[in-house]
Amino acid sequence: MTSDFDSTADSRSGPSEAAAPSWPQLRLDRDVDVCVVGAGLAGLTVAYELARGRLSVAVLEARQIGWSASGHMLGTVRPGYGVPPTELIERIGLHHAKDLWVLSSYGADYVRAIAAQIPELAIGEGALEVSTIESGDQLIERLTLLGNEFGTAVEGWQIEQVREALVTDRYFHGVYYPGAFQLDGRRYLHGLAALAAQAGARIYEGTEVVSIDPDGIRKRIVTPQARLRASHIVLAGNVHLGAPHQRLTDTLLPVWRYAGVTAPLGERLAEAIRFSGSVADSHGIDHFRVVGEDRLAWSSPETTFSMAPERMAKSIARRIRTVFPQLGEVAIERCGCGVIGQTVHGMPQIGQLQHGLWVASGFGRQGLNSSALAGKLIAQAILTGDDRWKLFAPYELVWVGGNIGRVAGQAISWATRGHAAAQGAVARYRERARARQLAREERREAALAMRNAPPAEQPPPELTDAAAAAPARDNVSPPPR
């Protein structure tokens, strides 16, 4: 699971702004085995896998590779989905939930394997999920579920350990994922495109899909300058698919998540954040990591409406000062966003809509592991008939409510953030109250100890008389000579 946005250079594992290769427009009619609509993470993954399987593949991208969410991510990868495992169990049962969780781990492993093939793509290890409230009992339950039932490597961090790594009173307990990792999402995306092209896939940028006819053995795809015929179509365009398949588009709530990268902060950053991996809070409000040694990449809460980057940069700077006031004034050098598609049920949409028409979308709050998994599952289904994609069947297409849904989604987001802020304030107040009460009890015990202590031993009378007489002798003037 990951969050969105990457936009600064980091020689170790952070974002980059390296120039991306340009790909041609589709200008001639073609016949292919598979047409992939959308050159994001899911689309390029399925294209790469199918090309490796010796099928002819054409990838159509209306703009440029990585222009939206897939090219703007914080780059954290770990098992899981956009909903808690307890919600998975409530909806589909423990056995089914465990099968889906195994697939999410498979997706994370796949990203790591692909990253190893991309030159100069470094990986940073570890991710920490922190709570904004005291949740000791919940922490134990979560560790038990993840470790025992889902087989995920996790460690529980107590408050002292969390605050040793993150010097702030905003966070309490934590769950550490030693197998999680971070990478430069933009570099990964363009490296994946290069691998797909080397395998034989043809990638076309600036090629908008005008219409799709999915009926028949050979499906038809119309673009402004050319037409394609294919046996399979994979819809990986997310919220940007639009009219070619409006039914799918209407099941996705467009969500913007902005992120900023600070100017160099020097040694003060190391004093405030002593953790090298990525950090996310349990309410999905804060998500950040150190990049480039002394910069901080920090993503904002989600919004269902587009905002001016300059405005969001100020909001991010304020949030950083709120969580880490010791950093002082923080300058945001760059701020941008990616638009993600979020489903009503919170899970990705992976599967077959009708014979030969596949969908890989709804990756809001999901990330690299889920998008990679979607591409791999669909490719295996086309190549070998693998039907593991059917595990996602309970999460069908659900209309999000259009503009009313966007308003409702924003209201829910505000309410969630407000509730989380209130819970955090109460937790910090109670912690301070307990500290004051403990200090009072310690002072009271110290006073009682002094009051009940036995009186100090008095010196013998002869010593007292001698000590009293000594000053008198000293003051006597010597007799005249």
pLDDT at 285 over 90: no
Which of the two residues, 401 and 398, has the higher pLDDT score? 398
Question: For residue 312, which of 265, 259, 263 has the smallest C-alpha distance?
Answer: 259
Give the per-residue pLDDT at 424.
Answer: 56
Give the per-residue pLDDT at 167.
Answer: 96
Residue 459 class from Cβ within 10 Å (0-12 exposed, 13-18 middle, 19+ buried)? exposed
pLDDT at 313 over 80: yes
Least confident of 215-224, 263-272, 282-291: 282-291
Tell me how far apart the alpha carbons of residues 14 and 129 are, in angstroms, rounded to a whole number: 19
Mean pLDDT over 290-312 rounds to 85
Give the per-residue pLDDT at 414.
Answer: 45
Mean pLDDT over 339-352 rounds to 88
Least confident of 82-91, 116-125, 130-139, 392-401: 392-401
Q: Are strands 227-235 and 219-222 parallel, antiparallel or unpaired?
A: antiparallel
E strands, 223-369, in order: 227-235, 253-262, 278-281, 287-291, 295-299, 332-342, 349-354, 357-361
Give the per-residue pLDDT at 450.
Answer: 76
DSSP H/E element including 140: helix 136-144
Mean pLDDT over 409-420 rounds to 52
Give the per-residue pLDDT at 356.
Answer: 95
pLDDT at 227 over 80: yes
Question: For residue 215, which of 114, 354, 78 has the smallest C-alpha distance?
Answer: 354
Q: Establish how many alpha carbons lie within 13 A of residue 334's alpha carbon, considering only the half-sphere containing its beta carbon.
A: 16
Confidence of residue 476 (pLDDT cuts 50, 70, 90): very low
Least confident of 154-158, 167-171, 235-239: 235-239
Confidence of residue 14 (pLDDT cuts 50, 70, 90): very low
Query: What are the DSSP calls for 195-220, one per residue?
Result: HHHHHT-EEESS----EEE--SSSEE
In CATH, what class is 30-424?
A: alpha beta
Give the per-residue pLDDT at 458.
Answer: 58
Supply angle C-alpha 77, 7, 82, rounded to 5: 30
- Separation in Å, CA 376 to CA 110, 362, 370: 9, 16, 10
pLDDT at 63 over 80: yes
pLDDT at 442 over 90: no
Give the residue extent of every domain in the chain. Answer: 30-424
* Number of residues written out for the chain: 481
Tell me how far apart the alpha carbons of residues 374 and 196 are, in angstroms, rounded to a whole number: 16
- Separation in Å, CA 406 to CA 60, 190, 239: 28, 31, 13
Give the per-residue pLDDT at 19.
Answer: 47
Which of the two residues, 138 and 44, has the higher pLDDT score? 44
Give the per-residue pLDDT at 423.
Answer: 58
Supply the pTM of this predicted model: 0.81
Confidence of residue 372 (pLDDT cuts 50, 70, 90): very high
Give the per-residue pLDDT at 5.
Answer: 44
Least confident of 187-191, 254-258, 426-430: 426-430
Would you say the C-alpha torsion 94, 99, 103, 106 has a positive or negative sign?
A: positive
Please name the residue that has the structure tokens 């009682």.
Answer: 448
DSSP H/E element including 176: strand 174-183
